[in-house]
Chain A
Amino acid sequence: MSTQTEVAVPRHVVQELDEVVIRFAGDSGDGMQLTGTQFADTTALFGNDLATLPDFPAEIRAPAGTLAGVSGYQINFSSHDIRTPGDQPNVLVAMNPAALKANLSDLEEGGILICDGDAFTDGNLAKAGFKSNPLRDGSLNRFRLFDIPLTGLTLKAVAETGLGGRQATRCKNFFALGVVFWMYERPVDYTRDWIEKKFKSNEQMAKANTLALLAGYNYADTTEAFTTHYRVRKARLEPGTYRSLTGNEATAMGFIAAGLLSGRPLFYGSYPITPASDVLHELARHKNYPVKTFQAEDEISAIGAAIGAAYGGALGLTGTSGPGVALKSEAIGLAVMTELPLVIANIQRGGPSTGLPTKTEQADLLQAMFGRNGECPVAVLAPATPAECFSLAIEAFRIATKFMTPVFFLSDGYLANGAEPWKIPQPADLPKFEVKQWTDRQDFMPYRRDPRTLARPWAVPGTPGLEHRIGGLEKEDGTGNVSYDPLNHEKMVHLRAEKIARIADDIPAVQVNGKGSGRVLVIGWGSTYGAITSAVESLQHRGAPVSSIHLRYLNPLPKNLPEILARFEKVLVAELNLGQLRWLLRARFLVDAAGLNKVQGKPFKVSEIVKAVEGLLGE
């Protein structure tokens, strides 16, 4: 650029983009989740549509500089409607060699690569398994490399605060964030305010982080290395008031809302477990709402307490992940036997056993369906998006209280931690659900059933004249007295099954995305919604005869499902397990469903689903 014309010609080129995928990666102590969240929140406020994928190790501080310790946060943001965090990053921010090593294969050809050159020391290179420095050996020529001495620049920027070396170094994530804010035309204000609030009690830290953030922003602005701003225009979202929401936040809010809508206090019994703990944290801080939380001594106590609370007339809720559900099985059976309203939220993670605590998987569906002794049916629901966790949490309690039954709410790690903009509903638009509490002494019997729903009365302690005893032993139909009568037992087993089956009369029909008939029907459930829908819609744009349905209700299944299945030549069930829903559908409908299955602790890429459908279409 000629110096004479500097005033007249804009210093930087602006390039318009529809959609960008950025991944921040660093050590688990580098604050990558924080950096990603700040970028996501700023982007949401800016007005883009977005979806995020935090991906972190189970260890809080894995050995620094190692591959095992790499933590990442991916965000996809756009000027149009998007549903997934993106298949492939366009931008990778790598805070050290290990982060580069672990993530480089995902970066698109020609993508932007920002590295902290200062972190590429011999020691760190060796820990990551590099024989030579990739920043110098030309191996990154396929990418647009920005080799920035992030650590050194950060130390200089925060020097005036007098902060020590190690603490000062920790501000470098804000420096990196400042650079990326500049590149994508995001204002720094939101993060600056956030830092102020967060470090209210530590002025020095607040100042250092702010300085690092601004220094990063100004560095990008003034260095000639950065020549281009990338502009992603605001998305045309439906008018309304929005907030950004993770699945776990939405889950907690939905359960609180269920309490407010039903006029019943919410009781949450839980034992800390990844990735469900945030639901406990979120609920625990809502003490000014009719919400009581109880951190139990173990998973069994957590559900036992929730059952006790439900018996007392509260909305009894327990939340956990798969290993916790395994421990709760017997108690779920008790709730089935005593026919109390109870919701069990399983934020699924990779299994079996301790498995992959911080990674996502959908392999607990059959556990929810069958993981108990005896014939022990429960309702099973699964939200499809982070925001949908809100409405399905309400729905779970509507069903639990109307049918007097335990209900499984199957979220997963991807939904739990993923964020998206959420259009805030009007309170008046939320479903009201009436909860009947029995008070009539006349002809009261603990197991007298509503003829339509087969629900037994919710008769809670404190109600005069309704004193009665319930428990885990088989009940005599009607009276609820202990009964070992063979025919009564058979009758009760059928009644409990029929009660769950009748929920099908009370749930919406499943909608087909696309034409009502065709060659391939893709079926999904839970968090795969975004990837499946994006894949199917892109195939539809190309004229492929493919449609999809997404099941929120897994037990009972929607009544119109069999007729939809019959209208397609082939059925593909895409799920993050070895084929659990497919197994259920084949058993139930004798349909020759094919499976697309992935168990890598990661969500589907859109391209993986496209490829699988193309394979079926080509057969």
Chain B
Amino acid sequence: MSSQTGGVELKPKLRRADFASDQTVRWCPGCGDYSILAQTQKIMPTLGVPREQIVFVSGIGCSSRFPYYMNTYGFHSIHGRAPTLATGLKIARPDLSVWVVTGDGDGLSIGGNHLIHAMRRNLDIKILLFNNRIYGLTKGQYSPTSEYGKKTKSSPFGTAEQPINPLGVAIASECTFVARSLDSDTQHLTSVLERAARHKGTAFVEIYQNCNIFNDGAFDAFASRDVRSERTVTLEHGRPLLFGKDRNKGIRLQGLEPEVVPIGQDGLTEKDVLVHDETRKEPTLAYLLTRLNYPEFPVPFGVFYTADRPCLDGALDEQAIQATARMGAGNLERLLNAGETWTVTEQVVQESP
């Protein structure tokens, strides 16, 4: 904010290293969290927000250690509750840049209620949900995003639970920025994080993150480098949904049914393919895209949906300004003497006018 307002004090330009704290990073070697941390530190200097104005809030879990490694203000709170702390902080201090770091267990299981309400309120906060489809810190139980039938320590016979769709939850919760990225696709991750940071309102970013200890290769089937171009599709606003090494496959909509079609065969061209419009007012199509999954479909990455809606923090401040304009600023004298009063003198009681 200071760089934009052109303040008198010229601050030295911050670098990525300025956002690394002095704490030793203690994630397992090879964890996808390292990449997410690195990309986050990388985009921070580009935002023009001074370090002291930035707060990272987290819950519990591997991902929630994140704030310790950021040289900003940080709050490692309790399981699932990071959105609540972020909400109070942002309402009390709209001037701050507030980021929530959470995981699939933290954000969608124990803290699911808070997550949906934070999103519907559209506070100007950024929520990064690291989805590794497993409980890592508690050593390998299935999570709400674990695939049906997954065998883990707590589901030795396979789970019998349908996994939740994080982006579907975000859309259903009226979130105004809904995106997905991948820990190992650093370029894509950087661009999505940057866009999230610049969005005015709640930005929800699901980041597929590999837990190389308890769920190694969870996303390899579609996200490993050798197959990624064939089995994922990158969403770009205003561009057709094309994928494949030669961009020769596309997603076509037949009524409400999406289908994969070959481009250049059977007279099919790019024009037949669905064009991505992240700003479409009705999020139904965006929701449909969140349902696309490998192997039937390529897995979409990018910004699914954005909307421009007033933020709660701003709206509350606006109400306060209007109330003050209407009623005058409150003070102790007014507070104490509000309502019906009467005065007692030595003997006489008189009602105040």
Chain A interface residues toward B at CB < 8 A:
41, 44-47, 190, 234, 237-244, 253, 256-257, 260-261, 265, 267, 269, 286-290, 292, 294, 296-298, 300-314, 316, 330-331, 333-334, 338, 424-425, 427, 430, 460-473, 481-482
Contacts A307-B88, A309-B89 aside, 14 further interface pairs with beta carbons under 8 A come to: A46-B349, A253-B335, A256-B335, A287-B319, A288-B330, A300-B84, A305-B88, A308-B75, A331-B81, A461-B96, A462-B52, A462-B95, A465-B52, A470-B74
Q: Is there an interface contact between A297 and B117, defined as CB atoms closer than 8 Å?
A: yes
Cβ contacts under 8 Å, B91 to chain A? 267, 292, 294, 305, 309
Cβ contacts under 8 Å, A460 to chain B? 93
| A305: nearest chain-B partner, CB-CB | B88
Question: Which residue of the partner chain, among A244, A292, A311, A466, contacts B340 with CB atoms under 8 Å?
Answer: A244
| A468: nearest chain-B partner, CB-CB | B73
Chain B interface residues toward A at CB < 8 A:
21, 23, 50-55, 57-58, 60, 67-68, 70-78, 81, 83-93, 95-96, 113-114, 117, 316, 319-320, 323-324, 326-333, 335-337, 339-346, 349, 351-352
Q: Is there an interface contact between A469 and B67, defined as CB atoms closer than 8 Å?
A: yes
List 27 interface pairs A-B (beta carbons < 8 Å), by A numbering: A44-B342, A45-B351, A46-B349, A242-B343, A253-B336, A260-B330, A265-B92, A288-B327, A288-B330, A292-B91, A292-B320, A300-B84, A301-B84, A301-B87, A308-B86, A308-B92, A309-B93, A310-B88, A311-B89, A312-B88, A427-B333, A427-B336, A462-B52, A467-B52, A467-B71, A470-B76, A473-B76
CA distance A309 to B291 in the complex (A): 37
Cβ contacts under 8 Å, A300 to chain B? 81, 84, 114
CA distance A333 to B331 in the complex (A): 34
Question: Which residue of the partner chain, among A288, A312, A465, contacts B89 with CB atoms under 8 Å?
Answer: A312
CA distance A213 to B32 in the complex (A): 74
CA distance A171 to B109 in the complex (A): 52
Known A-B contacts A288-B329, A463-B52; the reply to A242 vs B342 at CB < 8 A is yes
CA distance A472 to B86 in the complex (A): 15
Question: Which residue of the partner chain, among A237, A312, A314, A334, contacts B77 with CB atoms under 8 Å?
Answer: A334
Cβ contacts under 8 Å, B95 to chain A? 462
CA distance A294 to B344 in the complex (A): 38
CA distance A467 to B77 in the complex (A): 17
Cβ contacts under 8 Å, B90 to chain A? 308
Q: Is there an interface contact between A469 and B113, defined as CB atoms closer than 8 Å?
A: no
Q: With both chains docked as a complex, state the minimum distance between the C-beta of B342 and any C-beta of chain A, in angstroms.
A: 5
Q: Is there an interface contact between B332 and A301, defined as CB atoms closer than 8 Å?
A: no
A-B residue pairs, 5 tightest by C-beta: A304-B84, A471-B76, A305-B88, A308-B88, A289-B330
Cβ contacts under 8 Å, B316 to chain A? 292
Q: Is there an interface contact between B335 and A260, defined as CB atoms closer than 8 Å?
A: yes
Question: Which residue of the partner chain, among A243, A269, A311, A338, contacts B341 with CB atoms under 8 Å?
Answer: A243
Q: Is there an interface contact between A304 and B81, defined as CB atoms closer than 8 Å?
A: yes
Cβ contacts under 8 Å, A290 to chain B? 330
CA distance A47 to B81 in the complex (A): 50
Cβ contacts under 8 Å, A242 to chain B? 341-344
Cβ contacts under 8 Å, B73 to chain A? 461, 467-469
Q: Is there an interface contact between B329 and A313, defined as CB atoms closer than 8 Å?
A: no
Q: Is there an interface contact between A47 and B84, defined as CB atoms closer than 8 Å?
A: no
CA distance A267 to B96 in the complex (A): 16
Cβ contacts under 8 Å, A190 to chain B? 340
Cβ contacts under 8 Å, A464 to chain B? 50-52
CA distance A237 to B348 in the complex (A): 10
Known A-B contacts A305-B88, A312-B89, A471-B67; the reply to A243 vs B339 at CB < 8 A is yes
CA distance A333 to B91 in the complex (A): 23
Q: Is there an interface contact between B23 and A481, defined as CB atoms closer than 8 Å?
A: yes
Cβ contacts under 8 Å, B21 to chain A? 469
Q: With both chains docked as a complex, state the minimum distance between the C-beta of A238 and any C-beta of chain B, in angstroms.
A: 7
Q: Is there an interface contact between B342 and A45, defined as CB atoms closer than 8 Å?
A: yes
Cβ contacts under 8 Å, B346 to chain A? 239
Known A-B contacts A288-B320, A288-B323, A288-B326; the reply to A462 vs B96 at CB < 8 A is yes
Q: With both chains docked as a complex, state the minimum distance between the C-beta of A310 and any C-beta of chain B, in angstroms.
A: 8
Cβ contacts under 8 Å, B336 to chain A? 253, 257, 424-425, 427
Cβ contacts under 8 Å, A473 to chain B? 76
Q: Is there an interface contact between A241 and B337, defined as CB atoms closer than 8 Å?
A: yes
Q: Is there an interface contact between B341 and A294, defined as CB atoms closer than 8 Å?
A: no
Question: Which residue of the partner chain, among B113, B328, B342, contacts A288 with CB atoms under 8 Å?
Answer: B328
CA distance A612 to B201 in the complex (A): 62
Cβ contacts under 8 Å, B68 to chain A? 469, 471, 482
CA distance A239 to B347 in the complex (A): 8
Q: Is there an interface contact between B332 and A427, defined as CB atoms closer than 8 Å?
A: yes
Q: With both chains docked as a complex, state the minimum distance between the C-beta of B335 and any C-beta of chain A, in angstroms.
A: 6
CA distance A44 to B57 in the complex (A): 50
Q: With both chains docked as a complex, state the minimum distance between the C-beta of A303 and any C-beta of chain B, in angstroms.
A: 8
CA distance A294 to B319 in the complex (A): 13
CA distance A289 to B321 in the complex (A): 10
Q: Is there an interface contact between A298 and B344, defined as CB atoms closer than 8 Å?
A: no
Cβ contacts under 8 Å, A330 to chain B? 78
CA distance A301 to B84 in the complex (A): 5
Cβ contacts under 8 Å, A261 to chain B? 332
Question: Which residue of the partner chain, among B84, B323, B326, B351, contacts A296 with CB atoms under 8 Å?
Answer: B84
Q: With both chains docked as a complex, state the minimum distance between the C-beta of A236 and any C-beta of chain B, in angstroms.
A: 8
Cβ contacts under 8 Å, A314 to chain B? 92-93
Cβ contacts under 8 Å, A47 to chain B? 342, 344, 349
Cβ contacts under 8 Å, A312 to chain B? 88-89, 92-93, 96
CA distance A229 to B93 in the complex (A): 59
| B11: nearest chain-A partner, CB-CB | A464
Q: Is there an interface contact between B89 and A308, defined as CB atoms closer than 8 Å?
A: yes
Known A-B contacts A242-B342, A312-B96; the reply to A304 vs B74 at CB < 8 A is no
Q: Is there an interface contact between B92 and A267, defined as CB atoms closer than 8 Å?
A: yes
CA distance A234 to B81 in the complex (A): 54
Question: Which residue of the partner chain, among B96, B319, B335, contacts A289 with CB atoms under 8 Å?
Answer: B335
Known A-B contacts A47-B344, A297-B114, A297-B117; the reply to A466 vs B332 at CB < 8 A is no
CA distance A118 to B95 in the complex (A): 63
| A44: nearest chain-B partner, CB-CB | B342
CA distance A200 to B311 in the complex (A): 34
CA distance A239 to B89 in the complex (A): 44
Q: With both chains docked as a complex, state the minimum distance between the C-beta of B99 and any C-beta of chain A, in angstroms.
A: 12
Cβ contacts under 8 Å, B70 to chain A? 469
Q: Is there an interface contact between A461 and B55, defined as CB atoms closer than 8 Å?
A: yes
Cβ contacts under 8 Å, B74 to chain A? 467-471
Cβ contacts under 8 Å, B337 to chain A? 241, 243, 424
| B76: nearest chain-A partner, CB-CB | A471
Q: With both chains docked as a complex, state the minimum distance between the C-beta of B106 and any C-beta of chain A, in angstroms.
A: 13
Q: Is there an interface contact between A257 and B93, defined as CB atoms closer than 8 Å?
A: no
Q: With both chains docked as a complex, state the minimum distance between the C-beta of B258 and any C-beta of chain A, in angstroms.
A: 34
Q: With both chains docked as a complex, state the minimum distance between the C-beta of A473 and any C-beta of chain B, in angstroms.
A: 7
CA distance A95 to B232 in the complex (A): 73
| A315: nearest chain-B partner, CB-CB | B92
CA distance A234 to B345 in the complex (A): 12
Known A-B contacts A288-B323, A304-B88, A472-B78; the reply to A238 vs B342 at CB < 8 A is no
Known A-B contacts A234-B349, A292-B316, A424-B337; the reply to A305 vs B78 at CB < 8 A is no
Known A-B contacts A241-B342, A471-B75; the reply to A304 vs B85 at CB < 8 A is yes
Q: With both chains docked as a complex, state the minimum distance between the C-beta of B52 and any C-beta of chain A, in angstroms.
A: 5
Q: Is there an interface contact between B76 and A239, defined as CB atoms closer than 8 Å?
A: no
CA distance A472 to B81 in the complex (A): 12
Known A-B contacts A256-B335, A288-B330; the reply to A309 vs B88 at CB < 8 A is yes
Q: Is there an interface contact between A239 and B345, defined as CB atoms closer than 8 Å?
A: yes
Cβ contacts under 8 Å, A469 to chain B? 21, 23, 67-68, 70, 73-76
Cβ contacts under 8 Å, A296 to chain B? 84, 87, 117
Q: Is there an interface contact between B88 and A316, defined as CB atoms closer than 8 Å?
A: yes
CA distance A311 to B90 in the complex (A): 11
